Structure 1
Amino acid sequence: MRDIVCNCQMVDRETIDKAIHEKYATTIEEIRRYTGANTGCGKCMSYINTILDSEVPKVAPKKPASTSKFKLW
């Protein structure tokens, strides 16, 4: 059984988790961009923010470092 987070766009918890852990989505705006969740009525915003609060600390240390070729000193 799928845990639907956004009923308007039929986005489930697994999709939200993948956006956070694989695409490093750490804001509601990034979740909207990657999943389409919270682009309808907006009732799911608090649920998505709860998910972000619990999942983002788990991926923040894993976020890849910048691949800039320029060295700042």
Structure 2
Amino acid sequence: MRDIVCNCQMVDRKSIDKAIHEKNATTIEEIRRYTGANTGCGKCISYINSILDTEVPKVTQKIDKTQASKFKLW
């Protein structure tokens, strides 16, 4: 059973997570562009925002760690 986030466009949680972690989508507009979610009735916006609130900090931490390791002075 898939965890459907957007019933209008049949977008599942895996697709949302993939857009966030692989394409660095951090806004609802980017999620719309990459997945098509939230382009119908709009009822899924709160669910998508809660996913963004949970997953985006993970992405930014990963980016910060990567950038920090690139700029060692010694």
Of Structure 1 and Structure 2, which has the larger fraction of its residues in helix?
A: 2
One-letter code aligned to 1:49: N
Instruction: Give 2:42's aligned amino acid.
Output: G
Structure 1 residue 62, shift from structure 2 partner: 2.7
- Indicate the residue corresponding to 1:39 in structure 2: 39
Aligned residues: 65
| Equivalence for 2:2 | 2
What is the RMSD of the two structures over their aligned residues, measured on CA atoms? 1.2
Instruction: State the TM-score, normalizing by the size of structure 2.
Output: 0.83
Measure, in 1, the Cα distance between the counterparts of 2:44 and 2:2.
15
TM-score (normalizing by structure 1)? 0.84
Q: Distance in 2 between matches of 1:29 and 1:7?
A: 18
Match of 2:22 in 1: 22
Aligned to 1:13: 13
How many angstroms apart in 2 are the aligned matches of 1:13 and 1:56? 14
Identity of aligned residues (%): 83
